[in-house]
């Protein structure tokens, strides 16, 4: 997990995210990605939901890094938290949004992982594989993929 976190940080540095973005933008990006997880779950596309969950974790790592917080907390909590999986998606998403609103993002991420029957490490590995192949540039404090321009 620590290697994946380093991969995310190196990618973000290379793309200029730490230089041209803000921790607030990274937090908002994390919220947007939670919406994409919810959309994928609504469409019963659990593979895509897991991929989008990885993006949530990428934004969370960047958020922690930009605030000068220890990303080891992310790695350790992801490894040790073991919440009961929820079967009701309304409860899952409500719980996730409440946790994020109360600055307990890592527990929210773990709740989603449990619901999707995956791990944070697997979801993050998939996201790292995706983002390291992505091209684009920083525009107005946001990384814009070439495919979006």
* 97-111 confidence digits (pLDDT tens): 776 766 777 777 777
Let me know if residue 145 belongs to a domain.
no
Task: Kindly provide the b/e burial profile for residues 46-80, where b requires at least 16 CB atoms within 10 angstroms of the residue's own CB.
Answer: eeebbbbbbbbbbbbbbbbbbeeeebeebbebbee
Let me know if residue 17 belongs to a domain.
yes
Let me know if residue 142 belongs to a domain.
no
149 exposed, middle or buried (CB, 10 Å; 0-12, 13-18, 19+)? exposed
The whole domain housing 99 covers 2-134
Confidence of residue 21 (pLDDT cuts 50, 70, 90): very high
**Domain tally for the chain?**
1
| More confident call, 13 vs 138 | 13
Let me know if residue 89 belongs to a domain.
yes
31 exposed, middle or buried (CB, 10 Å; 0-12, 13-18, 19+)? middle
Confidence of residue 75 (pLDDT cuts 50, 70, 90): low
pTM over 0.85: no
Return the pLDDT at 84: 45
Let me know if residue 149 belongs to a domain.
no
Let me know if residue 144 belongs to a domain.
no
Beta-carbon neighbour count of residue 43 at 10 Å? 10
């Amino acid at each position: 997990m620590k290697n994946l976190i380093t991969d995310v940080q190196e990618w973000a540095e290379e793309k200029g995210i730490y230089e041209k973005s803000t921790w607030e933008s990274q937090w908002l990006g994390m919220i947007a990605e939670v919406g994409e997880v919810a959309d994928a779950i609504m469409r019963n596309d659990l593979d895509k939901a897991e991929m989008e969950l990885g993006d949530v974790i990428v934004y969370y790592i960047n958020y922690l890094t930009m605030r000068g917080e220890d990303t080891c907390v992310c790695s350790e909590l992801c490894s040790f938290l073991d919440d009961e999986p929820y079967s009701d998606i309304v409860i899952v998403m409500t719980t996730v949004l409440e946790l994020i609103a109360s600055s307990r993002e890592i527990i929210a991420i773990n709740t989603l992982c449990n619901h999707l029957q995956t791990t944070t490490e697997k979801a993050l590995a998939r996201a790292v594989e995706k983002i390291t192949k992505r091209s684009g540039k920083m525009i107005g404090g946001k990384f814009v993929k070439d495919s979006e321009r």
